[in-house]
Chains A and B, each alone.
Chain A
């Protein structure tokens, strides 16, 4: 009972918060009323062949047509227009793209807006044409429909135009895609290894030599999340952390992503960055450059089991000096904790 009351209270709160919803509803009741009005005169009739049929009045009442003309084009626009009024504001706006701090994010945002404009125009076009037709060509007594089977010129036109638009989009997108994912990261990038496990993040940073020990996915095991060779001299000064990432600002960072058990994904919305981490391999092509300092959340964004929903880590972007101080304070980690041989990851082997 109490729950019910709380729910009603909450519901009312949400409803009043969303004034725009009420706006919608006031537009919505005329629809019901008028559709009733249009339907009232149903009854039995005799058709031309003398067969008794059930006839319905098809026509839109003036009320209805006014409703369609007025409300329908705005229906969906309302959502877009009024949502911000409803949403709370956080550091980065919620209801829309969050702040972007990654060098590559600009291109992604730009393409996003290009597509938004294209699809927006298309959508408004389709919506208005449809709305117009619905009103203009509603059934009226004595006005027969045009008998037309189509028009080949039109057909060609509306096939070719989308072909060009879509091919353009695809080519442009591919260009950016290669820039982000297929070009080799700069040589001076800071290498950072991130290996997911149920349910947390193993992170490995290079020590003074600026290099990470080589990772071999076949060696990844329970005690050796990074799959490194304990004898590898490069790895001796590496240090690790758990669920805690620190990136220096304005310096390229090259990620080495992997997973110990199931698929996880590296996702930070403010970085416009997502990469699946499929076990059995190491991804070395993802790199980024943070352009502003701040605190963010690294989220696992691939379903990985019970604890998936809270598999997150801290990610902060700090000035270079601060990063170096932080790195100095960390003790080198033994390359491998526990045994050095690869313990097989769980399987159904019996």
Chain B
């Protein structure tokens, strides 16, 4: 690995490598912007794959096909016969795997991390362009491997995205040895991609900030990605180790997780959640950061409590490593430990509270522009609060005894992951699309898309709280098999309808996205009148980003400074008193 890095770096330094053109650009280019776009397109594709799987599984829940009648007819005329219980299990397993590892992470970290970090800190590219490129291809490869699991004998893995052993680790129990093994391989390679990316981001942010760009002058979007990179670096290898052990259990006869031969099933859970909990913050922190930027831009105000926001993110990142046990309250791990994890989980809600209140503070006294990006960012705040608050129920150990593994959890997942991360992603796409493609997205279509998505999202996922409290378990292929769930069926059908609506709403987005590539109004350098460095260069920025390295004179959010004609001052604009060539003073805080 070191070999590759170094030799590339040497060549990078010695000659400005010529940029490949045409289709070859998308194979060989090591420009962080091209890689960012590759991530963007690939993961949007997977969004539709993951969403398609979700719609299939929703259909099965509304019109189950497992009740085969005496004459061999499937009970419900509406049911899709090919969804048998095993396939249903594969559906939600792959739905979650795709959404988590192939959609949300690559979108936030791969696409926006790559595209925005160098631009926002005033760097020409990432520290290790070759590693960056490798990271994308590793990600793409992991996607192919995971998709291939649908085709192998036994079908796709069916143990849930959490792959609890020994169901996942003993072929005789899960009937999907090949699929489950491919899952391990895919996750391992995906992990390599994440680690390479994280390594790159940290080095880039530490070493390649433009002069004057102190840590406390970085936009919160960069902070979010920076902290996320540390989480990735420390959490992902643990999952890789676990996946390797699972793979060996499945294929080489090791017994790490097999209690029949001295293994420990709970070990898998500890390893998985040691990764898994930081993982959920990996999926929300970059969104939090980017949304903070969006809120500031469209409220025309500096972020309220910038430093508090940074410290809150650091606290979330740090505490995120000591709460994993809240997924295992009722797994039978040490009961005192459960209690301790309950306390730490409550504590981690505090920094989220700080962030929420500071977002409100940012809106206070603003001059709010209701662009589509802003609407999505506002939806992010609201939906994250709903999802976070439902997390409080589960963090309370006694209540978790009741709600664990019910649709209440499913509601939580989707409020934080769709309502949080995906709305955050939409906000980011609507904001930075002009920078990426030099054209504006259509606002009307965007607002229609937003409105449909917002309404259908809530119609789809809010009732899940209720069915969960009513006692409906997650991961069951046919709720009507249970007497006590039968009367919930109308709600389940309703949820499915809303999910279909939600799915179709995304076509508006797709249409807008691709149409605007060609027909969108030209964007100009700084269509949103924003302050950070990426808006000073052309849209899309040229190879190397900045003609000369910019010098940074101020914090990232100098909006509406009194006594200034314009309501924004960009980071590279020198203070009037100081001469433009004067050396910037030591970085001072924005707060």
Tell me whether B350 and A163 are in contact (CB under 8 A): yes
* B174 adjacent to chain A (CB < 8 Å): yes
Task: Please give, as numbers and ranges, the residues of chain A lying within 8 Å of B265 by CB-CB distance.
Answer: 263, 278-280
Can you give 8 contacting A-B residue pairs, CB < 8 Å? A35-B370, A35-B448, A173-B396, A177-B397, A280-B260, A302-B405, A306-B86, A310-B481
Task: Please give, as numbers and ranges, the residues of chain B lying within 8 Å of A163 by CB-CB distance.
Answer: 347, 350
Task: Please give, as numbers and ranges, the residues of chain B lying within 8 Å of A262 by CB-CB distance.
Answer: 164, 166-167, 170, 173
Task: Please give, as numbers and ranges, the residues of chain A lying within 8 Å of B303 by CB-CB distance.
Answer: 150
Q: Which of A50-58, A242-250, A326-334 makes up part of the contact surface? A: A50-58
Q: How many positions in chain A have a CB within 8 Å of any CB in the partner chain? A: 139
* B549 adjacent to chain A (CB < 8 Å): no
Tell me whether A145 and B559 are in contact (CB under 8 A): yes
Interface residues of B in 340-392 (CB under 8 A from A): 342-343, 346-347, 349-350, 353-354, 356-358, 360-361, 363-371, 378, 381-382, 385-386, 389-390, 392
Q: How far is the CB of B590 from chain A (nearest CB, A)?
A: 7
Interface residues of A in 74-93 (CB under 8 A from B): 75-76, 79, 83, 86-90, 92-93
Asked, given contacts A98-B470, A151-B305, whether A265 binds B405 with beta carbons under 8 Å apart, the answer is yes
Task: Please give, as numbers and ranges, the residues of chain A lying within 8 Å of B406 by CB-CB distance.
Answer: 269, 301
Q: How far is the CB of B217 from chain A (nearest CB, A)?
A: 13
Interface centre among A122, A301, A312 (most CB of B within 10 A): A301
Give the distance in Å from the alpha carbon of A149 to the alpha carbon of B554 in the complex: 13
* B455 adjacent to chain A (CB < 8 Å): yes
Tell me whether B527 and A53 are in contact (CB under 8 A): yes
Interface residues of A in 185-212 (CB under 8 A from B): 198
Task: Please give, as numbers and ranges, the residues of chain A lying within 8 Å of B347 by CB-CB distance.
Answer: 163, 166-167, 170
* B475 adjacent to chain A (CB < 8 Å): yes
Tell me whether B368 and A348 are in contact (CB under 8 A): no
From A163, which residue of chain B is reached at the shortest CB distance? B350
Tell me whether A137 and B86 are in contact (CB under 8 A): no
Asked, given contacts A60-B370, A272-B402, whether A309 binds B332 with beta carbons under 8 Å apart, the answer is no
* B42 adjacent to chain A (CB < 8 Å): no
* B206 adjacent to chain A (CB < 8 Å): no
Give the distance in Å from the alpha carbon of A181 to the alpha carbon of B338 in the complex: 11
Mark B240-262 against chain A: 1 for CB-CB distance below 8 A, else 0.
Answer: 00000000011101010011110
Give the contacting residue for A146; candidates B356, B444, B447, B560; CB below 8 A: B560
Tell me whether A123 and B366 are in contact (CB under 8 A): no
* B469 adjacent to chain A (CB < 8 Å): yes
Tell me whether B366 and A76 are in contact (CB under 8 A): no
Asked, given contacts A146-B365, A177-B398, whether A182 binds B335 with beta carbons under 8 Å apart, the answer is yes
From B349, which residue of chain A is reached at the shortest CB distance? A166
Task: Please give, as numbers and ranges, the residues of chain B lying within 8 Å of A285 by CB-CB distance.
Answer: 335
Tell me whether B171 and A35 are in contact (CB under 8 A): no
Instruction: Mark B residues whose CB is within 8 Å of A.
Output: 66, 77-78, 85-86, 88-89, 158-160, 164, 166-167, 169-175, 249-251, 253, 255, 258-261, 264-266, 298-308, 330-332, 335-336, 338-339, 342-343, 346-347, 349-350, 353-354, 356-358, 360-361, 363-371, 378, 381-382, 385-386, 389-390, 392-393, 395-399, 401-402, 404-406, 440, 443-444, 447-448, 451, 455, 458-459, 462-463, 466-467, 469-471, 473, 475-478, 481-484, 487-488, 490-491, 493-494, 497, 521-527, 559-562, 565-567, 590-591
Give the distance in Å from the alpha carbon of A327 to the alpha carbon of B22 in the complex: 80
Number of A-B pairs, beta carbon distance below 8 Å: 421
* A321 adjacent to chain B (CB < 8 Å): no
Task: Please give, as numbers and ranges, the residues of chain B lying within 8 Å of A301 by CB-CB distance.
Answer: 404-406, 473
Give the distance in Å from the alpha carbon of A198 to the alpha carbon of B175 in the complex: 13
Asked, given contacts A10-B78, A130-B381, A308-B89, whether A98 binds B451 with beta carbons under 8 Å apart, the answer is no
From B339, which residue of chain A is reached at the shortest CB distance? A174
Tell me whether A88 and B332 are in contact (CB under 8 A): no
Q: How far is the CB of B407 from chain A (nearest CB, A)?
A: 11
Task: Please give, as numbers and ranges, the residues of chain B lying within 8 Å of A21 by CB-CB distance.
Answer: 459, 494
* A70 adjacent to chain B (CB < 8 Å): no
Tell me whether A87 and B360 are in contact (CB under 8 A): no
Q: How far is the CB of A86 from chain B (nearest CB, A)?
A: 7
Q: How far is the CB of A223 from chain B (nearest CB, A)?
A: 14
Asked, given contacts A14-B493, A54-B523, A306-B85, whether A147 binds B249 with beta carbons under 8 Å apart, the answer is no
Q: How far is the CB of B396 from chain A (nearest CB, A)?
A: 4
* A17 adjacent to chain B (CB < 8 Å): yes
Give the contacting residue for B389; candidates A87, A119, A304, A345; CB below 8 A: A119
Give the distance in Å from the alpha carbon of A144 to the alpha carbon of B521 in the complex: 27
Tell me whether B470 and A24 are in contact (CB under 8 A): no
Tell me whether A83 and B463 are in contact (CB under 8 A): yes
Tell me whether A148 and B302 are in contact (CB under 8 A): yes
Q: How far is the CB of B513 from chain A (nearest CB, A)?
A: 18
Interface centre among B266, B330, B490, B561 (most CB of A within 10 A): B330
Tell me whether B350 and A162 are in contact (CB under 8 A): yes
Task: Please give, as numbers and ranges, the residues of chain A lying within 8 Å of B444 by CB-CB distance.
Answer: 35-36, 39
Asked, given contacts A115-B392, A146-B301, whether A276 binds B367 with beta carbons under 8 Å apart, the answer is no
Tell me whether B175 and A306 are in contact (CB under 8 A): yes
Q: How far is the CB of B363 from chain A (nearest CB, A)?
A: 4
Give the distance in Å from the alpha carbon of A130 to the alpha carbon of B383 in the complex: 12
Q: How far is the CB of A196 from chain B (nearest CB, A)?
A: 12
Task: Please give, as numbers and ranges, the residues of chain B lying within 8 Å of A118 by CB-CB distance.
Answer: 392
Tell me whether B481 and A312 are in contact (CB under 8 A): yes
Tell me whether B397 and A126 are in contact (CB under 8 A): no
Tell me whether B397 and A52 are in contact (CB under 8 A): no
Q: How far is the CB of B438 from chain A (nearest CB, A)?
A: 11
Task: Please give, as numbers and ranges, the residues of chain B lying within 8 Å of A44 by CB-CB distance.
Answer: 521
Instruction: Mark A residues whose CB is within 8 Å of B.
Output: 2-3, 6-7, 10-11, 14-15, 17-18, 21, 24-25, 28, 31-32, 35-36, 38-39, 42, 44, 48, 51-54, 56, 58-60, 64, 75-76, 79, 83, 86-90, 92-98, 105, 107-108, 111-112, 115-116, 118-119, 122-123, 126-127, 129-130, 133-134, 137-140, 143-151, 154-155, 158-159, 162-163, 166-167, 169-171, 173-174, 176-178, 180-182, 198, 217, 261-263, 265, 267, 269-270, 272-281, 283, 285, 296-297, 299, 301-310, 312, 344-350
Give the contacting residue for A274; candidates B330, B339, B363, B443; CB below 8 A: B330
Q: How far is the CB of A145 from chain B (nearest CB, A)?
A: 4
Q: How far is the CB of A275 from chain B (nearest CB, A)?
A: 6
Tell me whether B565 and A48 are in contact (CB under 8 A): yes
Interface centre among A3, A42, A95 (most CB of B within 10 A): A95
Interface centre among B171, B396, B493 (most CB of A within 10 A): B396
Tell me whether A76 and B386 are in contact (CB under 8 A): yes
Give the distance in Å from the alpha carbon of A281 to the alpha carbon of B266 in the complex: 11
Asked, given contacts A32-B447, A129-B360, A158-B353, whether A87 binds B490 with beta carbons under 8 Å apart, the answer is yes
Tell me whether A98 and B302 are in contact (CB under 8 A): no
Give the contacting residue for A261; candidates B166, B482, B491; CB below 8 A: B166
Give the contacting residue for A348; candidates B170, B299, B462; CB below 8 A: B170
Q: How far is the CB of B229 from chain A (nearest CB, A)?
A: 26
Give the distance in Å from the alpha carbon of A276 to the alpha carbon of B164 in the complex: 12
Give the distance in Å from the alpha carbon of A173 to the alpha carbon of B458 in the complex: 30
Known: A32-B451, A147-B562. 9 other contacts (CB 8 A): A56-B443, A88-B487, A155-B305, A155-B358, A174-B343, A180-B401, A263-B265, A301-B405, A348-B172
Tell me whether A263 and B522 are in contact (CB under 8 A): no
Give the distance in Å from the alpha carbon of A11 to the alpha carbon of B524 in the complex: 46
Asked, given contacts A138-B370, A306-B86, whether A133 binds B363 with beta carbons under 8 Å apart, the answer is yes
Q: How far is the CB of A111 from chain B (nearest CB, A)?
A: 5
Tell me whether A302 and B164 are in contact (CB under 8 A): yes
Task: Please give, as numbers and ranges, the residues of chain A lying within 8 Å of B440 by CB-CB distance.
Answer: 54
Task: Please give, as numbers and ranges, the residues of chain A lying within 8 Å of B396 by CB-CB distance.
Answer: 111, 115, 169-170, 173
Tell me whether A276 and B330 are in contact (CB under 8 A): yes
Task: Please give, as numbers and ranges, the residues of chain B lying within 8 Å of A35 by CB-CB distance.
Answer: 370, 443-444, 447-448, 451
Give the distance in Å from the alpha carbon of A114 to the alpha carbon of B347 in the complex: 18
Tell me whether A303 and B331 are in contact (CB under 8 A): no
Give the distance in Å from the alpha carbon of A289 to the alpha carbon of B560 in the complex: 64
Q: How far is the CB of A329 from chain B (nearest CB, A)?
A: 25
Tell me whether A17 and B490 are in contact (CB under 8 A): yes
Tell me whether A145 and B330 are in contact (CB under 8 A): no
